[in-house]
Structure 1
Amino acid sequence: MAKEVNGFNFEQRHGKERVRVARVWKDKDGRHFMVEWSVSIGLLSDCVPAYVQDDNSDIVATDTMKNTVYAKAKECSELLSVEDFAIVLAKHFTSFYSQVGDRPSNVTTTIVKIVEKPWERVHVDGQPHNHGFKLGSEKHTTEAIVKKSGALQLTSGIEGLSVLKTTKSGFEGFIRDKYTALPETRERMLATEVTALWRYSYDSVHRIPQKPLYFTEKYLGVKKVLMDTFFGPPKEGVYSPSVQRTLYQMGKATLDRFPDISSIQLNMPNLHFLPVNLSTKDNQIVKFDNDVYLPTDEPHGSIQASLSRIWSKM
């Protein structure tokens, strides 16, 4: 919220960005579990004197925030989801600093954003390895905004989900004018890199499900729905008349499947695979039949949309 300072509207926040932390848990059978997180913290607080009066007495040092990430990771003795860790951190900063000296704390809201690196357990000779991991592709993201009152906004997401199908895609009936060169087709490749963000309906930290790894399972469930909708059944697939139509179907399927998700945003660039054609003015050098392509991601089409339930505030 803006404050009037010396005749100006003034807003500020401060925090720590890209705090990298890895956490390993070991069970009694010798199996290891690990995560790697990049954590960003932002505090909304009334530390205006630090800006205008050379008074730092209301500031939580950003180095302290960094150290808190490591301390809280150590305190989490059981494997937990990235969402739960974000809430743990956000609750700490809005409650731990409830008193600064002899006056109430001015930390009113904490914003924690985390990107989870996709380390996946490897399999050797068909068996899951106890302590071996490989780096995957798409990343799991989350943002938890916690107010001193316990009010919560929780968003999760996926970045870098690259998907492609070599057929069952087309694009017809679009506007044509004197600058249009694109031919209509019912046979093309469809490739995109999905970025999705979904908001949970829980409005308080007290309403969060206490089931272990609840949000990890939800993330995997959303990813499966998005991919299943994009590809269709394994034998026959599903036809896509446009990226727009497929995007809408993916978002709708997510909201239909998960009642505690109130809204979803999807960004799906159209990454083009252009059929190769080697020919001269008078002669076709090689005849291709939709089997050799030139992959390109620049320029690419940009397709974005969001769906939310009528009662959602997003």
Structure 2
Amino acid sequence: MAKNVEGFEFEQRHGKERVRVARVWKSKDGKQQFVVEWRVSINLLSDCVNSYVRDDNSDIVATDTMKNTVYAKAKECSEILSVEDFAILLAKHFTSFYSQVTTAIVKIVEKPWERVNVDGQPHDHGFKLGSEKHTTEAIVKKSGALQLTSGIEGLSVLKTTKSGFEGFVRDKYTILPDTRERMLATEVTALWRYSYESLYSVPKKPLYFTEKYLDVKRVLLDTFFGSPKEGVYSPSVQATLYQMAKAALNRFVSILTLSVCLRKYIYLSIVSDEGERKIKRIW
């Protein structure tokens, strides 16, 4: 909350960016291993005005402390967990452990390490780097209020047919011909906000958010490509984008808002207080 300091409206936050941490877990029988790599960013909203106006740093949580907290909390996680659960865990720690911290904002990007197959079998401890990234942001207030967002970055997709573009505005500067036969290659970025509004309403099912992330990605891809044999025709990038956003939002009741971006075209789907679905376009 902003304060009036010497006639100025004063609000501050401080934090630590790009904390890289990798965590490896073993299965109960010790034979198979699991790995995640996260890039963590932390912002704390806190009452530390004295550090600005009275040279008193006694309320500052040092960036070194934030970094080491990430490492310590990752080590304390004895069971594999989703990136969303780890973000919530960190944010909850900062708001509960430090009396002066009113809100914690934790953003994490998960690097896409995927298990490799050798001779048709999944390797117990071998992994390769994938492409798209799993992202999340958890905003936790001291009261326990929560705002949780997840997303996909850098999901590259291509179909060699079943795409066209015709009937667009044509004037003396236009040389692009109408077509019903072209390739469609793009990069998908998606963000969705969950409906859980407090720490106490988050599902306790292990890896719930990891499963939800994979489910959303699957719906987006299925809508983009269509069935394996027939595919689905795309009359424009805009039309395909709309269908992708609508399909995902309609499929998952736990998602409150959803945005999907294909390069520069963004459609944001929201659910109003009355339960009506609305589409907004943002360029």
Same topology, TM > 0.5: yes
- What's the secondary structure of 1:229's corresponding residue? helix
- What's the secondary structure of 1:143's corresponding residue? strand
The residue aligned with 2:28 is: 28
- What's the secondary structure of 2:231's corresponding residue? coil
Residue 63 of structure 1 and its aligned partner are, at CA, apart by: 0.5
The residue aligned with 2:71 is: 70
The residue aligned with 1:238 is: 232
The residue aligned with 1:153 is: 147
Q: Distance in 2 between matches of 1:144 and 1:310?
A: 22
The residue aligned with 1:12 is: 12
The residue aligned with 1:287 is: none
Q: Distance in 1 between matches of 2:53 and 2:160?
A: 60
- What's the secondary structure of 2:165's corresponding residue? coil
- For each residue in 1:93-141, what CA deviation from the matched residue of structure 2 results, as whole angstroms up to 9, or x when unmatched? 00011xxxxxxx2210000000000000001111111100000000000
The residue aligned with 1:258 is: 252
The residue aligned with 2:134 is: 140
Bigger Rg, which one: 1
- Equivalent of 2:157, from 156, 163, 166? 163
Q: Distance in 2 between matches of 1:265 and 1:55?
A: 43
The residue aligned with 1:124 is: 118
- For each residue in 1:228-253, what CA deviation from the matched residue of structure 2 results, as whole angstroms up to 9, or x when unmatched? 00000011100001111101100111
- What's the secondary structure of 2:200's corresponding residue? helix
Q: Distance in 1 between matches of 2:270 and 2:28?
A: 44
The residue aligned with 1:201 is: 195
Residue 180 of structure 1 and its aligned partner are, at CA, apart by: 1.8
Q: Distance in 2 between matches of 1:165 and 1:123?
A: 26
Q: Distance in 2 between matches of 1:250 and 1:16?
A: 35
Q: Distance in 2 between matches of 1:178 and 1:47?
A: 61
Q: Distance in 1 between matches of 2:95 and 2:6?
A: 28
Give the 4+ runs in structure 1 shifted more than 3 A.
none
The residue aligned with 2:91 is: 90
The one-letter code sitting in structure 2 at the alignment partner of 1:264 is: L
- What's the secondary structure of 1:70's corresponding residue? helix
The residue aligned with 1:274 is: none
Residue 177 of structure 1 and its aligned partner are, at CA, apart by: 2.0
Residue 4 of structure 1 and its aligned partner are, at CA, apart by: 2.3
Residue 11 of structure 1 and its aligned partner are, at CA, apart by: 2.4
Q: Distance in 1 between matches of 2:185 and 2:4?
A: 50
- For each residue in 1:261-296, what CA deviation from the matched residue of structure 2 results, as whole angstroms up to 9, or x when unmatched? 011111112xxxxxxxxxxxxxxxxxxxxxxxxxxx
Q: Identify unmatched segments of 5+ residues in structure 1.
A: 98-104, 270-301
- For each residue in 1:41-77, what CA deviation from the matched residue of structure 2 results, as whole angstroms up to 9, or x when unmatched? 0000011111122111111111101000011001110
Q: Distance in 2 between matches of 1:55 and 1:22?
A: 35
The one-letter code sitting in structure 2 at the alignment partner of 1:182 is: L
Considering only aligned residues, what root-mean-square deviation do their CA atoms show, in Å?
A: 1.2
The one-letter code sitting in structure 1 at the alignment partner of 2:90 is: L
Q: Identify unmatched segments of 5+ residues in structure 2.
A: none
TM-score, L = length of structure 1: 0.85
TM-score, L = length of structure 2: 0.94
The one-letter code sitting in structure 1 at the alignment partner of 2:231 is: G
The one-letter code sitting in structure 2 at the alignment partner of 1:138 is: E
- For each residue in 1:158-184, what CA deviation from the matched residue of structure 2 results, as whole angstroms up to 9, or x when unmatched? 000000101111111111222222211
Aligned length: 274
The residue aligned with 1:308 is: 270
Residue 256 of structure 1 and its aligned partner are, at CA, apart by: 1.2
- What's the secondary structure of 1:235's corresponding residue? coil
Q: Distance in 2 between matches of 1:222 and 1:177?
A: 40
- Equivalent of 1:227, from 199, 221, 225? 221
The residue aligned with 2:208 is: 214
Q: Distance in 1 between matches of 2:130 and 2:246?
A: 27
Over the matched positions of the two proteins, sequence identity in percent amounts to 79
- Structure 1 segment 279-294 matched on structure 2, within 5 A: none
The residue aligned with 2:48 is: 47
Q: Distance in 1 between matches of 2:148 and 2:238?
A: 27
